[in-house]
A and B are shown apart, each in its own frame.
Chain A
Amino acid sequence: GQNIDQPTEMTATEGAIVQINCTYQTSGFNGLFWYQQHAGEAPTFLSYNVLDGLEEKGRFSSFLSRSKGYSYLLLKELQMKDSASYLCAVDNYGQNFVFGPGTRLSVLP
Chain B
Amino acid sequence: DTAVSQTPKYLVTQMGNDKSIKCEQNLGHDTMYWYKQDSKKFLKIMFSYNNKELIINETVPNRFSPKSPDKAHLNLHINSLELGDSAVYFCASSHRGGGSLYYGYTFGSGTRLTVV
A residues apposed to B, CB below 8 Å: 31, 33, 37, 41-45, 48, 85, 87, 89, 91, 94-99, 101-102, 104
- Contact, CB under 8 Å: B48 / A44: no
Bound Cα distance A48, B48 (Å): 21
**Inter-subunit contact A42/B40 (CB<8 Å):** no
Across-interface contacts of A98 in B (CB, < 8 A): 45
B interface residues with partner A (beta carbon < 8 Å):
33, 35, 40-45, 48, 55-56, 90, 96, 102-110
DSSP majority for the A interface? strand
Interface contact A42-B110, CB-CB below 8 Å: yes
Q: Judging by beta carbons under 8 Å apart, are B42 and A42 in contact?
A: no
The answer on a CB contact under 8 Å between B104 and A48 is yes
List 8 extra interface pairs beyond A42-B108, A89-B43, A95-B48, CB under 8 A. A45-B103, A91-B104, A94-B96, A98-B45, A99-B44, A101-B41, A101-B42, A102-B43
B-chain residues with CB within 8 Å of residue A104 when the two chains form the complex: 41
Are B104 and A89 in touch, CB under 8 angstroms?
A: yes
A41 to B92, CA, bound (A): 13
